[in-house]
Structure 1
């Protein structure tokens, strides 16, 4: 009897976890904002896919999303606040030093994204983190 229970438990663990996953109801292009009407729920494997619609609504598609396919974690992100070639405010904060200047974004990015930027004064390429106000906090 014990061997049967152990075999049954191992069989259950070996099967893929089937749960509700979030899918799109229409094709979304990169840069499209995702609304609730673009989404549906479907039974499927939940490995690296969203399972709650509220986690997806308001996000931006980073790649093309096709109908009835799961939305993976790396396929969407926060909406871009900074576009490529946009002039942005650069801010650097040190121990007792604060520098603010203008720069040109070399990449698109949303809140918290690391982007390459060019300091317009020195033409130096830097890296920074996009802030909620659309400025970029220089990290390097």
Structure 2
């Protein structure tokens, strides 16, 4: 039995997934909108293939037109800016201590950040909460 050429080509060709690429140069710290990205018919290892995972995120690095967007290139929009006065929260065994601190970098919710406790001048680390406070870990 002979297989028609069209069916053979469909069977022999690899399946391609969409890869999301930038449509324009997107500077770091810019929120990404639907107009900034497009799906390209290519399967690039490590690249994001779901546009909904990118829209509303912030570019962590400069993104260039036609280049694939990778998970490390984007992140949640920053709620804490570098040198911003923030609230540090330490919560352990039912005791909660809050004090002012100064952020040493910018970060979004869930990201790890270092901050200086303004009262003691000690540098601490913690995770940014959605409201901009930092839950200090030891």
Distance in 1 (alpha carbons) for counterparts of 2:65 and 2:14: 22
Where does residue 18 of structure 2 map in the other structure? Answer: 20
TM-score, with structure 1 as normaliser: 0.86
More displaced, 61-70 or 46-55? Answer: 46-55
Within 5 Å, give how 1:80-95 maps onto structure 2: 80-95=78-93
Give ranges in structure 2 of 5+ residues lacking alignment.
1-11
Match of 1:129 in 2: 127
Q: Which ranges in structure 1 are unaligned for 5 or more consecutive residues?
A: 1-11
Q: What pairs with 1:35-46 in structure 2 (closer than 5 Å)?
A: 35-46=33-44
Distance verdict in 2 for CA 1:16–1:86, change over 3 Å: farther
Q: CA RMSD in A?
A: 1.5
| Count of residue pairs the alignment pairs up | 127
Structure-to-structure mapping, 1:66-85, within 5 angstroms:
66-85=64-83
Q: What is the 5 A alignment of 1:88-127?
A: 88-127=86-125
Could you give the per-residue CA deviations for residues 64-93 of structure 1, whole angstroms, max 9, x where no partner exists? 000011100110000000000000011000
Tell me by how many angstroms 1:135 deviates: 0.4
Runs of 4+ in 1 over 4 A off after TM superposition: none
Partners of 1:34 and 1:58 within 8 A in 2: yes
TM-score w.r.t. the length of structure 2 is: 0.88
